[in-house]
Amino acid sequence: MKVTVVGAGTMGRGIAQVFAQAGNSVILTDIYPKALEDAASSIRSSLERLFRKGEIKENIDTILQRITSTQELSAGSDSDMFVEAVIEKVETKESLLTQISQIARRDAIIGTNTSSISINQLSSFVTYPERFIGIHFFNPVPVMKLVEIVKGERTPESLVRKTFEIVKALGKDPVISQDFPGFISNRVLMPMIREAILVLEEGIATKNDIDKTMKLGMNHPMGPLELADFIGLDVTLDIMEVLYHEYGDPRFKPPVTLRNLVNARKLGRKTSEGFYKY
């Protein structure tokens, strides 16, 4: 199968890697040359780690040869599947999905890696929306087993089944969600992260004790503030804003502390500082 992954950021490069590991031909495209350079380096490093751990056996260069990096979206015009993996902004996704729709084969699957935006809304930017589906991977993509498959009102069951099998072939364990903002994961997760931030804001406990409580008391592998840093505070804010806009429910309203950190470009691990310093 030939797959075009659009967007070479953290998620896109991980998605490209797992498709290539599974033997697929991959086009990884981004408008920024630096993003493609960083993606190539990151994918090689990730494969080397997996190889050292014995989690992959195939030659690394053989896997990398399946990935073609390019700034030209049209290079993927004959792909069987497209996966959009750009920032969580409707306007950006609208522009990109419109472009994909114009070059994709009529029978090509068009998927989005959105973590919170309505699949029905995004499908309106695609000609033949019955070929559109949500395919939400989790970070880090090469490690995390879960994928949310999200179906819209016009997504046929045949496409859901086909996507389910494609995802299984990547070694992932998919779940299926109806199209509600936040789907399953972020609908549950974001209120917890928000409440942890409010506990910090109100001086009820330190960040360390908040995270320790959830790790030791609830058996979570990572505390909510540490997890927000890992996700990226900008991404966390974007998701909360989508959920708050869509539901109008204050349990999704982004806390001031979160907004302040994002405005200060303290975005978590990727900038070496968020709630914690790295």
Q: What tens digit of pLDDT does each residue of 38-88 get?
A: 999 999 999 999 999 999 999 999 999 999 999 999 999 999 999 999 998
Identify whether 136 is a catalytic site residue. yes
- 29 has pLDDT over 90: yes
pLDDT digits 0-9 by tens, 219-275: 999 999 999 999 999 999 999 999 999 999 999 999 999 999 999 999 999 999 999
**Which amino acid, one-letter code, is at 45?**
S
Identify whether 74 is a catalytic site residue. no
pLDDT confidence bin for 116, thresholds 50/70/90: confident
Q: Active-site residue among 46, 148, 177, 226?
A: 148
CATH 1.10.1040.10 matches 186-269: yes
Identify whether 115 is a catalytic site residue. yes
pLDDT of residue 275: 98
Q: Which two tokens stand for residue 136?
A: 């939400």
Q: Active-site residue among 79, 116, 123, 186?
A: 186
Question: Average of pLDDT values for 200-214?
Answer: 98
HEC readout, 11-46: HHHHHHHHHHHCCCEEEEECCCHHHHHHHHHHHHHH
- The residue extents of the domains of the chain are 2-178, 186-269
Number of Cβ within 10 Å of residue 65's Cβ equals 11
Angle CA(45)–CA(268)–CA(179) in degrees, nearest 5? 90
Class of domain 2-178: alpha beta
pTM beyond 0.85: the answer is: yes
pLDDT digits 0-9 by tens, 157-203: 999 999 999 999 999 999 999 999 899 999 999 999 999 999 999 99
Q: Active-site residue among 123, 136, 177, 226?
A: 136
Q: Active-site residue among 115, 116, 123, 177?
A: 115
pLDDT of residue 81: 98
